[in-house]
Amino acid sequence: MAVAIQLHSVTKTYHRAGETLRVLDELDLAMDASTFYALMGPSGSGKTTLLNLVGGLDHADSGKLMVGADDLAALDGSALAQWRAENVGFVFQGFNLLPVLSARENVELPLLLAPLSRAQRRAQAERALELVGLADRMDHKPRELSGGQEQRVAIARAIATDPQILLADEPTGDLDRSTADQVLELLQRLNRELGKTILMVTHDPQAATYADKVIHLDKGKLGRIDDNRTASGAGARS
Amino acid sequence: MPFKLLWRNVTGHPIRSLLTIASVAVAVFLICMLHAVTSGLTRTLSAAASNRLLVQSAVSLFVDLPLSYQQKMAPVPGVEAICKWQWFGGRYEQDKGGFFAQFGIDPETFLPSYPEMSIVDGDYDEFRKRRTACVVGADLADKYGWKVGDTVPITGTIFTRTDGQPWQFDVAAVYRSSSASIDQQTMWFHFDYLHESLETGGAIGPQGVGVYMLRIAPGTDPIGVQQAVDALFENGPQRVQTTTEAEFNRQFVSMLGDVPSLLQMVGGAVLFAIFFAVLNTMIMAGRERTRDLGVLKALGFTDRTTALLLIAESLLVCGLGAALGLLLGVVLEGPFAAATASFIPGFGFDRGTLLLGAGLALAVGLISGLVPGLRAARLTTVAALREVG
């Protein structure tokens, strides 16, 4: 299986209130393409920082981070923005939909950066919304949708440009169990049917069971990687 | 779609946006009106004829000159014609709250000295022949519905009739003016009618002439005539000051103070106030939308694009305000021009006024948008997404 994301000795530090925090500490990690990863660990272990680095939202202080064939350290400013638009889809805990736009218009947002006509944009946004089961909610504003529906719109927005990688930061953190399961099933389906590589930060062990592999971080270093597909017992969901 | 996002962001806070748009509209309207007034004054001054001199008392415009001065000035080389002007200061009986100027003049020399005036109704000869006749401006005739042949009762405030009745003036002709130096809201009547009434005891009031207008012959040096006339009365009984029509107009305007500078200062203050109002709105909008900006950046929008979104939003708000303000100005231009025609005959919106209003509003929009726009550009995606929505 091809390697989608590769980290060699990646370090990231933050300076807060005169204190230096080493959030990622010479991390080495390789993630396969078309695999659903859950990223777990205690608070401050570097999960969200790792997600931000892989998504090109932030730069590592040192080390090498390759996503596909792209060395993210070599990209800066608008080049990195363009790379994000073409390669990554984000799903956030708080959904982060633009409240003034309808579901369809929110999904169309990333497509504005693609060379598409208005009609093509609209059609592609509608296809993404149909895929997440919201064909009948396209013209609703975020405030007119339930939390689960909002997150599904956010997922539709993340896949609208057909990126290879989906990054999800606690996507079910604001949802009840039943709705969370529906969202996780949707992510699993996107991985299995469309071959998306998914990296999902979660604190929820039950959510992690939807992933193929679970990466455990501890104090900025790799703890272990569990493979749910080979695990026995109740750990994995298929 | 980008415009839709802009529009939705503007209409997302309808009351705040409406108030900002309204304040920009009022500011643009005020600035345009002030500019129209100053440029109207300038037009009036610059439209003054170079072959007309005005002789007034060296003490003040409010001090009359003796009637005998006309005969003394007539032989001055270069003086082609003389016309007396006397401010009447009467009130029209049917509109006591309204105001328009009335002047007693010499009909024989008046119209030939003002080629910019043309008679559009009635007959100037009829005016010359009848001592109680008057000529009125077309705008004045329109305002009060006067027609040739009507009698207009005017109550004197400086010159009052001893019988307690108003003065009666017969409309003999209606004029239009092609120059900003002469408005179309003035009534001209026979100076002799006024003078004889005073002489015979039919009326009481100051006897004399407010201003003498001297028309000078083509090719004559106006400065030479000015000096010659001033020299004539250097030893009294009443010293005079002879000026060009432009200078006379300038002095008349400056009696109110340095009006153009004052108006420019007021305009500047209005502009400053509105700049802070729009800036405040845009900074609030930028801060409220920090998380949205982070989302846009995460989706692949560049720093430049997110900054442009806020700048464009500010320009949209100010553009709408400018459009509303200019519309208001264009609608109210006519009534305002009519109300001020006696003081500022050159008042009017020209292309420069409209461009000034629109340009200033857009400049305010641009600068007000730059502040949150630059902040948005500098904001890191991670920090923006961390912002509590």
Query: Mean pLDDT in chain B?
Result: 86
What is residue A234's predicted lDDT score, i.e. its pLDDT? 44
CATH number of the domain within which A55 lies: 3.40.50.300
CA distance B368 to B25: 16
A5: closest CA of chain B, how far (Å): 18
What is residue B257's predicted lDDT score, i.e. its pLDDT? 62
Which ranges constitute the DSSP H helices of chain A?
A: 47-54, 77-87, 103-108, 118-131, 147-159, 177-194, 205-208
Which ranges constitute the DSSP H helices of B258-386?
A: 259-288, 290-299, 303-340, 351-378, 381-386
CA distance B25 to B21: 6
Put simply, the answer to whether A81 touches B302 (Cβ < 8 Å) is yes
For residue A142, being part of any structural domain is answered with no
Residue A39, domain extent? 3-62+76-96+163-227
Average pLDDT (B40-49) is: 71
Q: Is the peptide bond before B237 cis (omega within 30 degrees of 0)?
A: yes
Average pLDDT (A76-91) is: 90
Give me the amino acid identity at B195. H
Q: Comparing C-alpha atoms, which of A106, A108, A112, A100 is closest to residue B17?
A: A100
For residue A10, being part of any structural domain is answered with yes
Q: Which residues of A touch B11 (CB under 8 A)?
A: 100
- Tokens of residue B360, six digits: 């200033």
With cut-offs at 50, 70 and 90, classify the pLDDT of residue B334.
Answer: confident
Q: Residue B47 above 90 pLDDT?
A: no
Put simply, the answer to whether A84 touches B300 (Cβ < 8 Å) is yes
For residue A212, being part of any structural domain is answered with yes
Q: Which residue of B has its CA nearest to A58?
A: B382
User: Taking chain B, what is the end-to-end CA distance rounded to the nearest angstrom?
Assistant: 23
- Tokens of residue B20, six digits: 């900002």
For residue A234, being part of any structural domain is answered with no
CB B286 within 8 A of CB B313: no
pLDDT tens-digit series, residues A30-41: 999 999 999 999
Q: Which residue has the tokens 């998914």?
A: A198
For residue A217, being part of any structural domain is answered with yes
Q: Which residue of B has its CA nearest to A114?
A: B300
Question: Hey, which residues does A89 pair with through a beta bridge?
Answer: A166
Q: Which residues of B touch A81 (CB under 8 A)?
A: 297, 300-303
Q: Comparing C-alpha atoms, which of A226, A219, A199, A200 is closest to residue A11?
A: A219
Local structure of B375: helix, strand or coil: helix
A215: closest CA of chain B, how far (Å): 22
Q: Poorest-confidence range of A46-60, B7-21, B40-54, B112-126?
A: B40-54
CB B18 within 8 A of CB B320: no
Is the ipTM beyond the 0.95 threshold?
Answer: no
For B349, list phi and psi in degrees, rounded to 5.
-80, 125
pLDDT tens-digit series, residues B85-143: 999 988 887 887 778 889 999 998 888 888 888 999 999 999 999 999 999 999 889 98
Helix (H) or strand (E) holding B212: strand B211-216
With cut-offs at 50, 70 and 90, classify the pLDDT of residue A69.
Answer: confident
Q: Who has greater pLDDT, B153 or A94?
A: B153
Average pLDDT (A210-235) is: 82
pLDDT tens-digit series, residues B194-209: 999 988 988 888 888 9
What is residue A179's predicted lDDT score, i.e. its pLDDT? 87
Q: Which residues of B touch A121 (CB under 8 A)?
A: 1
Put simply, the answer to whether B297 touches A78 (Cβ < 8 Å) is no
pLDDT tens-digit series, residues B270-281: 888 888 888 888
How many structural domains comprise chain A?
A: 1
For residue A92, being part of any structural domain is answered with yes
Local structure of A25: helix, strand or coil: strand
Q: Is the CB of residue A37 less than 8 Å away from at least one CB of chain B? A: no
Taking the alpha carbons of A158, A159, A161, A165 in that order, is the dihedral positive or negative? positive
Q: Which residues of A touch B297 (CB under 8 A)?
A: 57, 81
Q: Is the CB of residue A123 less than 8 Å away from at least one CB of chain B? A: no
